[in-house]
Amino acid sequence: MSPVFVALLALLASTFHTRAAQQAEIAALRHQIAVLQRSSPRRLSIKQADRLLWILLSRLWPDWRRCVYIVKPDTVIRWHRTAFSRYWTWKSRHRPGRPAVAAAIRDLIQRLSRANGLWGAPRIHGELLKLGINEAPSTVGKYLRRNRRPPSQSWRPFLKNHMKQMASMDFFIVPTALFRVLFVFVVLSHDRRRVVHFNFNVTEHPTEEWTAQQIREAFPWDQAPRYLIRDRDAIFGKEVTAVAKGMGIKWSRRRNRLGKIRTWSD
Domains and CATH numbers, the chain: 3-89 (no CATH), 103-142 (no CATH), 156-253 (3.30.420.10)
- What gap in Å lies between CA 185 and CA 200, rounded to an integer? 9
Q: What is the pLDDT of residue 261?
A: 40
Question: Angle at CA 90, nearest 5°, toward 89 and 94?
Answer: 90
Residues 6+ apart with CB under 8 A from 201: none
Q: What is the pLDDT of residue 113?
A: 86
Q: What is the pLDDT of residue 119?
A: 85
Q: What is the pLDDT of residue 141?
A: 86
Query: What residues form DSSP beta bridges with 265?
Result: 251
Residues 6+ apart with CB under 8 A from 150: none
Strand order in the sheet with 227-230: 195-198, 181-189, 166-175, 227-230, 250-253
Q: What is the pLDDT of residue 264?
A: 43
Coil, strand or helix at 227 = strand
CA 103 → CA 18, 32, 54, 107, 110, distances in Å? 68, 58, 51, 6, 11
The amino acid that residue 64 corresponds to is W
Low-confidence ranges of the chain (pLDDT < 50): 255-266
Residues 6+ apart with CB under 8 A from 96: none
- What gap in Å lies between CA 99 and CA 78, rounded to an integer? 39
- Taking each helix axis from N to C end, the angle separating 103-115 and 121-130, rounded to the nearest 10 degrees, works out to 120
- What gap in Å lies between CA 122 and CA 140, rounded to an integer? 8
**Phi/psi at 173 (nearest 5 deg)?**
-105, 150
Length of the chain, in residues: 266
CA–chain centroid gap for 28, Å, is: 51
CA 85 → CA 5, 65, 90, 222, distances in Å? 26, 22, 9, 76
Residues 6+ apart with CB under 8 A from 78: none
* DSSP run (H or E) holding 185: strand 181-189
Handedness of CA 95, 97, 103, 109 (dihedral sign): negative
